[in-house]
Amino acid sequence: MSAKLAIDGGKPVRKKFLIFGSPQILDVEIEEVSHTLRSGWLSTGPKTHQFEKRFGEYVGSRYALGLSSCTAGLYLALEVVGVDARSEVITTPMTFPSTANVIVHHRAKPIFVDIEKETMNIDPEKIESKITPKTKVIVPVHLAGRPCKMDKIMEIAERKHLYVIEDAAHAIETKYRSQKVGIIGDVTVFSFYVTKNLVTGEGGMATTDNTEWAEEMRVKSLHGISTSAWKRYSSEGFQPYETICPGYKFNMTDIQASLGLHQLKRLEDNLKIRERHWRRYNEAFSRIPEISIPIEEDNIRHARHLYTILLSLERLNISRNRFIIALKAENIGTGVHFTALHLHPYYKNTFGFRQGDFPNAEYISDRTVSLPMSPKLTEKDVDDVIAAVKKVIDHFKR
Ligand SMILES: *Cc1c(COP(=O)(O)O)cnc(C)c1O
């Protein structure tokens, strides 16, 4: 007899709800934020520049630009490579909406390419047939922290004269073969949103080796004016600003950078903690036929951002959404990364996508569940997640 599920009035696996993706904020960060608030310099200034420098060193890029979000960075990156209303931009449907939204903001057309079932990343073999004279950029997304097959993507881009802008929102620590994500494509953009591996509340960073683009993105991230406020108002002299172009308000603040500086220092240690949780999940779930676990690949470094299980719906009497509700009743929070973007109302209605257009993305979209994966989890939290998943699976297996 299996234990009575909490959705059926049974006792939940744990008392307190385990929030999915709750950020780890330590006292050092809180003190740094206080220091910034007391300093009187709240917006882009010395701490942002220090964070940019250290982040650039971590990644190995020539330039790193602190931004208000990854979305802002993707928008700027598309702009500096020249995407406009005549362009087509290739990306994956298995991503967060902003990856494609920014393409639409430029009045360009998002062209989805199906994913590989095993890696859940864009399938390089399917890219070429989607390239037209209008294609300008490929935007690979390193889903969950797993690198896309960048050698093939870069080879296609070079041969077809396309730019590559990487959405590395999940992939701060990721390496593809020996190359760090952040120095492979033309521009790479990272996210520091609350649930990501490095947290600044809201925030992002763009990296590139291209001097012109770096300068253009910097100017456009702050109104399109020629000198930064820091230089205008600090003791370093005076220079009135001039508007060079109608820029945006995409700059990072020193309050955000205060968090980022310390989060960056802990990044590698936190990865080790998540790797440990990852192994425990793998051990617990590898022999359950109703679930499949993420594959392991050689020659890459996975950032272990999201641990996603796939439900074998064919072996279960429960849908993915019901499974999530059942886990929630057991006091375990989970996520879905992602619902295939071509089936979201806007994309479906505007571009005429249909069910069946990207079968692999739809397959994952129907079955994927992201389990809690954070350096904040205790061993007991991980035990509870495992127990709850096993309990629900046990109850609904055919
Ligand atoms: C979180 C996320 C983004 C957006 O990041 P923001 O910093 O919130 O703008 C973009 N792409 C992917 C794949 C994401 O997960």
Instruction: Give 74 Cα–ligand 1 centroid separation in angstroms.
Output: 9
Cα atoms in the Cβ-side hemisphere of radius 13 Å centred on 232 = 9
131 DSSP 8-state letter: -
The pLDDT, as a whole number, for residue 227 is: 67
pLDDT in tens, 185-230: 999 999 999 999 999 999 999 999 999 999 999 999 999 998 665 5
Closest CA relative to residue 191, chosen from 66, 49, 62: 66
Instruction: Give 71 Cα–ligand 1 centroid separation in angstroms.
Output: 6
Going through 319-378 in order, the beta strands assigned E by DSSP cover: 368-371
Q: Are 84 and 107 in contact (CB under 8 A)?
A: yes
Torsion sign, CA atoms 67, 72, 74, 80:
negative
In a domain, 362, yes or no: no
Domain identity same for 247 and 105: yes
Domain identity same for 50 and 153: yes
What gap in Å lies between CA 333 and CA 328, rounded to an integer?
Answer: 6
Instruction: State the CB neighbour count (10 A cutoff) for residue 128.
Output: 13
pLDDT bracket for residue 238 (50, 70, 90): confident
Residue 69: pLDDT above 70?
yes
Domain identity same for 88 and 234: yes
**Residue that is last in its domain, among 214, 243, 265:** 265
- Choosing from 69, 71, 146 the residue with most ligand 1 atoms within 8 A of its CB, the one to mutate for a pocket test is 71
In a domain, 67, yes or no: yes
In a domain, 346, yes or no: no
As a whole number, mean pLDDT of residues 334-347 equals 98
DSSP line for 286-311: TT-TTEE-PPP-TTEE-----EEEEE
Output the CA torsion 254→258→264→266 (10° steps).
-170
Domain identity same for 128 and 207: yes
Containing domain of residue 183, as a range? 27-265
**Residue that is last in its domain, among 231, 265, 299:** 265
In a domain, 340, yes or no: no
Instruction: Give 300 Cα–ligand 1 centroid separation in angstroms.
Output: 22
Domain identity same for 261 and 272: no
Ligand 1 atom 8: residue of nearest CA: 193
**Residue that is last in its domain, among 249, 265, 281:** 265
Strands 135-139 and 88-91: parallel
pLDDT in tens, 92-133: 999 999 999 999 999 999 999 999 999 999 999 999 999 999
147 DSSP 8-state letter: P
User: Does the CB atom of residue 191 touch ligand 1 within 6 A?
Assistant: yes
The pLDDT, as a whole number, for residue 154 is: 98
Q: Which pTM was predicted?
A: 0.96
Domain identity same for 298 and 184: no
User: Does the CB atom of residue 204 touch ligand 1 within 6 A?
Assistant: yes
Instruction: Give 26 Cα–ligand 1 centroid separation in angstroms.
Output: 23
User: Does the CB atom of residue 45 touch ligand 1 within 6 A?
Assistant: no
Q: How many domains does the chain have?
A: 2
In a domain, 358, yes or no: no
What gap in Å lies between CA 329 and CA 112, rounded to an integer?
Answer: 36
In the chain, count H helices and then E strands. 12, 13
> What's the token pair of residue 295?
């594959």
Strands 175-176 and 291-292: unpaired
Domain identity same for 18 and 38: no
As a whole number, mean pLDDT of residues 372-387 equals 97
Domain identity same for 87 and 212: yes
Provide the mean pLDDT of the chain: 96
Domain identity same for 13 and 102: no
As a whole number, mean pLDDT of residues 225-250 equals 79
Domain identity same for 237 and 114: yes
User: Does the CB atom of residue 169 touch ligand 1 within 6 A?
Assistant: yes
- Residue 170 alpha carbon, nearest atom of ligand 1: 15
In a domain, 359, yes or no: no
Instruction: Give 98 Cα–ligand 1 centroid separation in angstroms.
Output: 7
CATH number, domain of 216, equals 3.40.640.10
User: Does the CB atom of residue 52 touch ligand 1 within 6 A?
Assistant: no
In a domain, 18, yes or no: yes
What gap in Å lies between CA 374 and CA 350, rounded to an integer?
Answer: 37
Element (H, E) at 127: none
Instruction: Give 70 Cα–ligand 1 centroid separation in angstroms.
Output: 6
Going through the chain in order, the beta strands assigned E by DSSP cover: 63-67, 88-91, 109-112, 135-139, 163-167, 175-176, 179-180, 187-191, 204-208, 291-292, 300-301, 307-311, 368-371
Three-state secondary structure call for residue 157: helix
As a whole number, mean pLDDT of residues 54-82 equals 98
The pLDDT, as a whole number, for residue 156 is: 98
What gap in Å lies between CA 327 and CA 283, rounded to an integer?
Answer: 20
- Choosing from 75, 139, 167, 263 the residue with most ligand 1 atoms within 8 A of its CB, the one to mutate for a pocket test is 167
Domain identity same for 86 and 232: yes
Residue 345: pLDDT above 60?
yes
In a domain, 364, yes or no: no
User: Does the CB atom of residue 353 touch ligand 1 within 6 A?
Assistant: no
**Annotated catalytic, 391?**
no
Domain identity same for 283 and 236: no
Three-state secondary structure call for residue 278: helix
CATH number, domain of 18, equals 3.90.1150.10
